Amino acid sequence: MRELKILAVVVFFSLLTYYLVEPYAHSQMHKHVEGHNFVYTGEDDIQEASKEKKEVKEKFWSEVKTIAALKGDPAAGEAGFGMCMGCHNGAGVNMGGVIPPNLDHAGALYSKNYLIALIKDPAMASNVDHKYADTMTHPMGSVKTMFTDNQSIADVVAYLMTKKAGDVTPKEAYEEACGRCHAMRYAKLTQLGETPKFKHEKDALAYKIKVIDAQDAVKAYMGKLPPDLSIMIRARSEHFMETFVENPQSQLSGTSMPRTGLTEEGYAKVKAYLEEVGDPSKPKREAVGPWVLGFFFIFTILAYLWKQSQWRDLH
């Protein structure tokens, strides 16, 4: 039938145009980055590293592998964790540029390999060693002097993985993993946590200055203020977010954002929160969509019957 042939031509050229300007153009525009399902073995780090650093990194990650094979003792690790508590106390006080994260759910959020690497050498683990001539100067660099033998690292990580691995809500996951550096104004979150309500403008302004101070500290440390994450979930593609969180250097070479070491489940939690805030209409979209489409299916059927009744005796 002629009309269907014409339709086929129209559809063909429309889809061709769509393919060229959307999937194809985007595949050409963006760098291809392979994901690793949030498993941290340092593979990327070694590959990206400059010649002189390659060897150091290879050695570092192979040691991480050795430690991961050790059997950690949570009870022994608890004593070691006491040292961590000096900074990771949830007080929200900036230390050397960043606020040490709360570790209440560290075992549930972060990968074991990553935690081992982090205690061994924080700058290397988070893949920001390019920022430091000596990784000791990393804000958490001194940890290297606290856990000097492999077994003590294995113990404290075993402690985190068993005792600090309770249920974690998406919001807690976000706050612990991202919220110290990134604000999220649509959820009224700043680097200092939830913004309280103030009755008097003076108090509100005083608090605002505290926030700006905190942001300036982060800015001084990171080089620029990390972006607000309110609707980041819509501003970046799913693939970008995953690979970026896994290894920020892979998408943004030279960035000062450290790797956070989230596991796949940990990232799923963070993502759920980013979606809840940044794309809150998603559940409604999914609920309303089928009804609207159903309406137009029936509309089209009725319109077809009407058209048939009008046109049946024309030829």
Q: Does 220 bind other proteins (CB under 8 A)?
A: no
Between CA 33 and CA 10 the distance in angstroms is 35
Q: Does 298 bind other proteins (CB under 8 A)?
A: yes
Residue ranges in 79-138 that form contacts with other proteins under rule CB under 8 A? none
Q: Does 15 bind other proteins (CB under 8 A)?
A: no
Q: Which listed residue (113, 127, 230, 263) binds other proteins by CB under 8 A?
A: 230
Between CA 243 and CA 235 the distance in angstroms is 15
Q: Which listed residue (90, 196, 268, 295) binds other proteins by CB under 8 A?
A: 295
| Both tokens assigned to 172 | 């807690």
Residue ranges in 183-202 that form contacts with other proteins under rule CB under 8 A? 185-186
Q: Does 314 bind other proteins (CB under 8 A)?
A: yes
Half-sphere exposure of 124 (CA within 13 A, CB side): 28
Q: Which region among 14-22, 67-75, 93-101, 150-158 touches other proteins (by CB under 8 A)?
A: 14-22
Q: Does 10 bind other proteins (CB under 8 A)?
A: yes
Between CA 272 and CA 99 the distance in angstroms is 24
Q: Does 7 bind other proteins (CB under 8 A)?
A: yes
Count, residues near other proteins per rule CB under 8 A:
58
What are the respective helix, strand and coil percentages of the chain, to the nearest 5? 65, 5, 35
Q: Does 305 bind other proteins (CB under 8 A)?
A: yes
Shortest Å distance, C-beta 235 to other proteins: 4
Residue placing its CB nearer to other proteins in the complex, 51 or 312: 312
| Both tokens assigned to 68 | 């991961």
CA dihedral for 143, 149, 154, 159, sign (positive or negative)? negative
**CA nearest neighbour of 190 among 153, 220, 230:** 230
Between CA 29 and CA 38 the distance in angstroms is 25
Q: Does 32 bind other proteins (CB under 8 A)?
A: no
Shortest Å distance, C-beta 309 to other proteins: 5
Between CA 33 and CA 244 the distance in angstroms is 9
Residue type, 285: R
Shortest Å distance, C-beta 70 to other proteins: 44
181 class by beta-carbon count within 10 Å (0-12 exposed, 13-18 middle, 19+ buried):
buried
Q: Does 6 bind other proteins (CB under 8 A)?
A: yes
Q: Does 22 bind other proteins (CB under 8 A)?
A: yes
- CA distances, 195 to each of 184, 206, 223 (Å): 11, 12, 25
Q: Which region among 45-53, 58-66, 255-263, 282-290 touches other proteins (by CB under 8 A)?
A: 282-290
Q: What are phi and psi of 180, to 5 degrees?
A: -75, -25
Shortest Å distance, C-beta 179 to other proteins: 18
**How many Cβ atoms are within 10 Å of 184's Cβ, its own excluded?**
21
Binding interface with other proteins (CB under 8 A): 2-3, 6-7, 10, 13-14, 16-18, 20-22, 24-25, 28-29, 185-186, 227, 230-232, 234-237, 280-281, 284-286, 288-289, 291-293, 295-315
